[in-house]
Amino acid sequence: MAGTDKTAPPPRTPTWVRVALVTSLALNLLVLGIVGGAVLKFGRDGPPRAGFLPGDFGPYSRAMSEPDREALRAAYRAEAPRLRENRAAVRQGFRELQDALRADPYDHARVVAVVEAQQARVQDHAALMRGLTLDRVAAMSPEERAAFADRLERVVRRGPPRERDRDREGQGGRP
């Protein structure tokens, strides 16, 4: 077959495409690591700290009254088997991701599939917490919802708690 050179190297992927793929992968792994780490950290068994809500839903749970937070904790604990399964799957996903990243040849489709599966687990966790929080708000009386709105306004105005605020919460003090 004249005209076909079997010794010619395959066409090279442009550098900008490789840089874009690596950057995209790095950003996806960063986001996944942050979210997955939060799921794993806050999902540990053991007694929760005072004022701490497993799977904390940010300002919403911080603005709830203590009885509402306790009801939310109870609802969250009722979902423990599902959450343990999610955490185990996220941990397994990290092991699969490590294997996929070390594989030669590199299989980008496998990495994408693992990351997307982990992201689905993390989103399931967030959807559960969102649903439990919204169910708790729906169970409030109009007066309780108004008080919740006032507390939420204060929490949002103050911003996220600083370390010393968290320390005071753990000692029974007010944030």
Structure tokens at 59: 């300002």
Class (C level, CATH) for 51-158: mainly alpha
Q: Rounded to whole angstroms, how far apart are CA atoms 45 and 42? A: 9
Q: Rounded to whole angstroms, how far apart are CA atoms 18 and 35? A: 26
Q: Over the stretch 97-126, which tens digit does the pLDDT of each residue have? A: 999 899 889 899 999 998 888 888 888 888
Domain residue ranges in the chain: 51-158
pLDDT confidence band for 51 (50 / 70 / 90)? very low
Percent above pLDDT 70 for the chain: 66
